[in-house]
Amino acid sequence: MSYQFSDELKRTFEEIRTMKVRGAGRIARAAVAALKDEVYFVGDSNVEEFLKRMEAAANYLKSSRPTAVSLPNGVNTVIKSIREGIKRGLSLSELKEYTAAQAQEFIQKSIEAQKKIGEIGAKRIVSGDVILTHCNSQSAIGIIETAFKDGKQIKVFATETRPRYQGRLTAAYLADKGIDVTLIPDSAARLYMRKVDKVVVGADAIAVNGAVVNKIGTSQIAAIAYESRTRVIVAAETYKISPQTYFGELIEIELRSPYEVAPKSWLDKHKGIKVLNPAFDVTPPQYIDFIVTEKGIYPPQGIIMLFKELYEL
């Protein structure tokens, strides 16, 4: 059976797919907010029908982008709460209220988690640190900004982050806050790494073995940092840990349009050229010093313990 979704839900799907809304935390919150509104979209006749319609909406949202685990983890939280509500015997109207409240709670907790990561991670930054960050991660920026607000003298290198240049967003944001920031091409990371004390990046997904999936180019930066003995810090909320990886599944890497890499008009002229445009790569745990979560700091090898604790395994 196919379900009708509201225009707002479809808009959110499109905004995530086209990266108008982007960043692993933001897309999770946007999807959960869309589900929260979807609760009241059509009048369902019973709780089972409501669950099925919401499951369909959740699956639709999950298909917008494949890599950031925060997205399925966020929408699954909402679906789980509907199932719980049904088990507890809630009436349809009670169930809808409960679902909307649980969705709101996820959004609130996600915002609080990012704030907490900023506070915890900033303790590991010292005055005089030169930090390199890649892409545009709210959690990574939270660490940098909190350290700066705490009065630490820091300088930041922000990589451009081709092909979509999210590094410009980071540089503009930091400069606006009064932080000393220098924008560099991604390919200049090795040249400047010897000036860098700490690399601070975010994550779209974390495997239970501590490998980090983040914006394409992160693994090269981490390898360069490893070579020059520079610390690599990953900032990530616990809902970015991928449960599937516990069962040996790999995290899917999103392949985006070739036209983000080269203009269509140019590629049309050079028909023989193939383009690959992966949005993310995988940084192995041995290149990561620690992962800052809202629950504290973990070495990548400790993520499995954290995961088991979170899922009560």
Number of residues in contact with ligand RI2 under rule CB under 6 A? 17
Beta bridge partners of 206: 212, 241
**Tokens describing residue 132:** 């390199």
The dihedral sign for the CA sequence 1, 102, 30, 120:
negative
**Tokens describing residue 182:** 């220098």
The 10 Å CB-count burial string (b at 16+, else e) for 23-33 is bbbbbbbbbbb
> What φ, ψ does residue 257 adopt, rounded to 5°?
-60, 140
Catalytic residue among 129, 186, 204, 289: 204
For residues 27 and 187, what is the distance between their CA atoms, to the nearest angstrom?
A: 28
Note if 204 is an active site residue: yes
Contact assessment for residue 128 and residue 153, using Cβ atoms and an 8 Å cutoff: yes
Select the residue interacting with ligand RI2 from 9, 24, 47, 199 (CB under 6 A): 24
Which segment (32-40, 93-101, 131-139, 290-298) binds ligand RI2 by CB under 6 A? Answer: 131-139
Question: CB-side exposure of 263: number of CA atoms within 13 Å?
Answer: 3
Select the residue interacting with ligand RI2 from 12, 138, 230, 293 (CB under 6 A): 138
Select the residue interacting with ligand RI2 from 102, 183, 215, 293 (CB under 6 A): 215
User: Closest approach of Cβ 38 to ligand RI2, in Å?
Assistant: 22
Select the residue interacting with ligand RI2 from 202, 210, 217, 300 (CB under 6 A): 202
Note if 268 is an active site residue: no
Distance of CA 198 to the CA centre of its chain: 20
Select the residue interacting with ligand RI2 from 12, 77, 137, 283 (CB under 6 A): 137
Decide: helix, strand or coil at residue 188.
helix
Select the residue interacting with ligand RI2 from 222, 279, 304, 306 (CB under 6 A): 279
Q: Is 296 exposed, middle or buried (CB count within 10 Å of its CB: 0-12, 13-18, 19+)?
A: middle
Other CB atoms within a 10 A radius of the CB of residue 17 amount to: 13
Catalytic residue among 135, 150, 176, 268: 135
Which segment (47-55, 86-94, 171-179, 196-204) binds ligand RI2 by CB under 6 A? Answer: 196-204
User: Closest approach of Cβ 201 to ligand RI2, in Å?
Assistant: 6
The DSSP secondary-structure symbol of 91 reads -
Note the residue count of the chain.
Answer: 313
- The runs of H, that is alpha helices, within 41-162 are 47-62, 70-87, 92-122, 138-149
Q: Does 64 bind ligand RI2 (CB under 6 A)?
A: no
Which segment (92-100, 180-188, 200-208, 242-250) binds ligand RI2 by CB under 6 A? Answer: 200-208
Which segment (4-12, 24-32, 71-79, 150-158) binds ligand RI2 by CB under 6 A? Answer: 24-32
Q: Does 29 bind ligand RI2 (CB under 6 A)?
A: no
Which residues inside 154-173 make contact with ligand RI2, applying CB under 6 A?
Answer: 166
User: Closest approach of Cβ 96 to ligand RI2, in Å?
Assistant: 29
Which segment (77-85, 87-95, 137-145, 187-195) binds ligand RI2 by CB under 6 A? Answer: 137-145
Which residues inside 3-22 make contact with ligand RI2, applying CB under 6 A?
Answer: 22
Q: Does 186 bind ligand RI2 (CB under 6 A)?
A: no
**Tokens describing residue 23:** 């960043």
Contact assessment for residue 120 and residue 296, using Cβ atoms and an 8 Å cutoff: yes
Footprint of ligand RI2 (CB under 6 A): 22-26, 135, 137-139, 166, 201-204, 214-215, 279
Which residues are catalytically annotated?
135, 204
